Amino acid sequence: HSGPKWYNIESGLSEGKKQNKMILIDVYTDWCKWCKKMDSDVYSDKEIVSYLEENFICVKLDGEGHSLMDYKHQNLTETEITKRFGINSYPTTVFFKANGYHISSIPGYFPANEFMNILTNISKNR
């Protein structure tokens, strides 16, 4: 199955600025079954994928990851960045404007049709 192109947070934020697109961050963990369901049911949905690719830069962030990333000029692990976002449940979808301004964080799994409603509502905040 083909999903959207995924970036890490470092390249995703700079790509968002470059392309003037909003940024969607999928915060997941390896053990989270609802995260896997988002991947298999939602991020593989053709309509969702084409909408995302048109309107968003997509980022995957491992809520328990140890990879170091440059976030706001600080070298932080994915876990530390997740804590900065105040996230403690997975999956959580975080939205940023192209300039890196945080719009909202939405915890939980959503079926494709509900997720599409969220995406279209968020897009109106450009």
**pLDDT surpasses 70 at 1:** no
Q: Confidence class of residue 124 from pLDDT cuts 50, 70 and 90?
A: confident
Is the preceding omega at residue 91 within 30 degrees of 0, hence cis?
yes
Alpha-carbon span 107 to 126, nearest angstrom: 21
| Full-model pTM | 0.95
Alpha-carbon span 81 to 100, nearest angstrom: 14
Residue 98 pLDDT: 94
Alpha-carbon span 59 to 52, nearest angstrom: 11
Residue 72 pLDDT: 86
Alpha-carbon span 115 to 111, nearest angstrom: 6
Long-range contacts of 111-117 (CB under 8 A, 24+ apart): 111/41, 111/42, 112/41, 112/42, 112/45, 112/47, 112/48, 115/42, 115/48, 116/47, 116/48, 116/51
What mean pLDDT value characterizes the chain? 94
Residue 78 pLDDT: 96
> Average pLDDT for residues 68-92, to the nearest whole number?
94
Alpha-carbon span 36 to 53, nearest angstrom: 20
Residue 126 pLDDT: 67
Residue 74 pLDDT: 93
pLDDT tens string 3-51? 899 999 999 999 999 999 999 999 999 999 999 999 999 999 999 999 9
Q: Confidence class of residue 2 from pLDDT cuts 50, 70 and 90?
A: confident
